Structure 1
């Protein structure tokens, strides 16, 4: 049994992790601990507080008791908002507090893009445009070419968590561009686990979603390799990259 730990802010799309655990169909357990979201707002000042070291550290002890072998901060905006260097500092602090390998969803996207050898990506974000632009800047700092980014202007994770397949499909179609090798959907508050394969079929390209890459990143940290086609192209390619 491989136990993977996730620090998830608040409550919105955490049931994606139950769904992914089922789809993995292996001896893998996904343990989710909820962190204090504070003010639910896709706004820079609120996101900085959400991803602060003390809030992340508060959930670490509970994860250790589950026997987790690695931990991922399951929040994209609460990591890339710190910038490339700041996000590294955040993950290092989390690893020290947890006493185990650590990462975040923002870095999960970077590693997944590299794993699939993607050159150009489009971003379909639920966030306001200024926050979506910060994610584009983060990817650019990682050497990823962002050909377009779209912000849907949703301020709260609670609202995003209420989205269903029609809203998800609309976001994907509005955000994709012909010159992008893949579409990235960065919000962990967005339910995507049941729709990745259908999105890829419709767009005819890889689709990377926040909760999908977060789980993949935890597997990467523990060097586990799992083939799960229903979770998209990312889960059909081997070997996993080693960072």
Structure 2
């Protein structure tokens, strides 16, 4: 028989902070995502900024039709993140789905659960990031098929960018995209970057490009913007973290003019 002292409830008064952490970042990510959380833990999380994640259903292959099927899950995914509590920003971590669904429709779906909260999508963060590094003519590298890459080209052309070159790997499974070796990315980025491009954009939140963005910049002597690098940059700036971190890439030394 266990013997332990009588449990006493103290009457000592307690002080409570408004929040456990000063800033709250919500992440809505794919059920199959291997990369967003590690990237955001490395680049965004701190003793001031907390990350809170919800995963939503997703089934490969990565085609425009399958990507669109995530749209109905966005509202409930956002609702599951700290229910009835405010967030400072919510990121939807899928570049290709954001392109085919549309930034505005994603924002509307998430704001149905979290009204008035800034919503960051990877392509829109990339547009802001490319503008911040002064790029107008860009090279694009994606892991997708040509079918899934085509809407990406149309998106950036519609945003006013000249596309100097566009290269894709032809992969259909985002879990395979996450397994691309970083050294392979560096080599592929060097081959994919046009000489007359102002910057290189590496698409896909599954691809581990953010971790080697600085190394790619050294290899091509141009700014590199990747999906997760751009969303992390935008998230930090929305959370009033403006500290330059050029060791992560040139973008992370740039300010952001609003969201």
Say whether the 8 Å CA contact 1:20–1:193 is kept in structure 2.
no
- Give the match for residue 55 of structure 1: 73
Tell me which stretches of 4 or more aligned residues in structure 1 moved more than 4 Å. Answer: none
Alignment of 1:57-72 (within 5 A): 57-65=75-83, 68-72=87-91
SS at match of 1:178: coil
Deviations 1:65-119 (A, max 9, x none): 475311011110011013xxx3322222322322211131111111111222211
Structure with higher helix content: 1
The answer for the alignment partner of 1:46 in structure 2 is 66
**Larger deviation: 65-74 or 127-136?**
65-74
Q: Is the 8 A contact 2:138 2:162 kept in 1?
A: yes
Alpha-carbon shift at residue 207 of structure 1 (Å) = 0.5
Shift of residue 221 of structure 1? 3.5
The verdict on how the C-alpha distance between 1:224 and 1:92 changes in structure 2, with shifts beyond 3 A counting, is: farther
Aligned length in residues: 234
Q: TM-score, normalised by structure 1?
A: 0.89
| Superposed CA RMSD | 1.9
Question: 1:222 & 1:70 partners in 2: Cα distance?
Answer: 8
1:27 corresponds, among 25, 38, 48, to 48
Conservation of the 8 A alpha-carbon contact between 1:72 and 1:103 = yes
5+ residue gaps in structure 2?
Answer: 1-21
Matches of 1:203 and 1:30, distance apart in 2: 33
Alpha-carbon distance in structure 2 between the residues aligned to 1:43 and 1:18:
28
* 8 Å Cα contact 1:152-1:171 kept in structure 2: no
Instruction: Pick from 122, 126, 129 the counterpart of residue 112 of structure 1.
Output: 129
Based on CA coordinates, which of the two structures has the bigger radius of gyration?
A: 2
TM alignment of 1:184-223, pairs within 5 A: 184-223=201-240
Deviation at 1:55, TM superposition (A): 0.9
Structure-1 residue corresponding to 2:112: 96
d(CA) in 2 for partners of 1:228, 1:19: 12
Q: Which moved more, 1:27-36 or 1:112-121?
A: 27-36
Equivalent position to 1:174, from 191, 195, 200: 191
Match of 1:17 in 2: 40
CA 1:202–1:7: 2 relative to 1, 3 Å? same
Shift of the alpha carbon at 1:184? 0.4
Instruction: Please tell me whether the aligned partners of residues 199 and 224 of structure 2 are also in contact (alpha carbons under 8 angstroms).
Output: yes
- Bigger relative contact order (CA 8 A; separation at least 6): 1
Does the CA-based 8 Å contact 2:74-2:106 persist in structure 1? no
